[in-house]
A and B are shown apart, each in its own frame.
Chain A
Amino acid sequence: MNCLEARNLFVSFWRKTLDGPRREQFVDHLRECTGCDHSFRVFALTAPVLYAESRELPDLATSVRRSRRADASRPAQGSKPTRLRFSVRSALAVSLLVAAAGVAAYLAVHEPQTSLEETLSPPDATVEMSSGTEFAPPS
């Protein structure tokens, strides 16, 4: 068996679908070829997710129970993301306060140029268009 053949059999070997003689040839090749042996070990790091058959993945209910047990036994780890969330919220709150203070300071220095009545009164009903014709919205 050469290296190319061996590397093409990684997935079949992982899924245990190689027949006896082929499997032996494959294992013999890996024993003799350090390059393929190393490549197989690299492959093995992602194979449990990428090349597992769906049926080999653990039952979801069992996984949920395991995950809950693991979470319950690690109370200290839960505080880290919470702290992070609080720090993000605090940063947002400080930014908003600074922005509000800036707006207040600006308004205190620059008095409004128009009166409240002018600001609230509706614009002229007739708008002159660039072509010179007038457009009157329906009343």
Chain B
Amino acid sequence: MNPAGGDTGRSDEDLIAEVLRGGTAAFGEMASRHRPRIEGLCRRFFRDPELVRDLVQESLTRIFSGLAGFRSEMQFGGWMRAIVVNICYDELRRRQRRPEELVADFTDAEPVWLDMVTYASPESIVGAAEQRREARQLAHRLLDSLRIEDRMAVVLKEAEEMSVAQIAEQMGWSEAKVKIRVFRARRAMRKQAERILAAVRR
């Protein structure tokens, strides 16, 4: 038993078997092991930390309640990711709104980051990006400007490095549709980014 939820090094399969036998403490260990991965995935889609926390909680609840249906021939990581992606997709659709225009709507801190992206050296940009909250904020706002399906496709392709076939299976789309969505998302992001940089240079 591991009431503290610390990692005992047991495999996911062992922990799942114990959870299914009624050992809920094993789920604590699974949750602490996979929480950072789930959080990271949710944060590709949402920037509000409170919302991310709720989605992580919901994901863990669904994973727990769905464990009985998990088949050992699947990869646990892939199965878990499918649940989290579905939850994020549902949440994006729930919050569906028209793609927004960004150029005239910067927050106070964003122009500082934009100046840096426009004029600083590539090394300085990379170094500063990790420290600057507004860098992530603006990136999220750029992603917010995409249509939901385009956004799902590009995040899964670029950030999660999933193959076209994997995305097609996850989303229930054809591979052609995935490719079109990714292409459109990249083109739209590029267009928005070009407009932002042009506005800074003006």
A residues near B, CB below 8 A?
Answer: 13-14, 16, 27, 30, 37-38, 40-42, 44-52, 54-58, 60, 63-64, 66-67
Contacts and interface: CB of A to CB of B under 8 A. Distances in A.
B4 interface: no
A48 B139 contact: yes
B122 A27 contact: yes
Interface residues of B, number: 41
Nearest to B40: A54
A48 B122 contact: no
Contact of B126 (A16, A55, A60): A16
Contacts of B13: none
Nearest to A36: B122
Interface stretch (B18-26, B88-96, B172-180, B192-200): B192-200
B197 A42 contact: yes
Contacts of B168: none
A50 B122 contact: no
Given A41-B117, A41-B197, A66-B133, A50 B125 contact: no
A46 B142 contact: yes
A45 to B, nearest CB: 4
Nearest to B114: A45
A49 B159 contact: yes
27 contacts: A27-B122, A37-B122, A42-B190, A42-B194, A44-B125, A44-B126, A45-B138, A45-B139, A45-B142, A45-B193, A45-B196, A45-B197, A46-B193, A47-B129, A47-B139, A49-B136, A50-B139, A51-B158, A52-B136, A54-B41, A54-B43, A55-B36, A57-B39, A57-B136, A58-B133, A60-B53, A63-B52
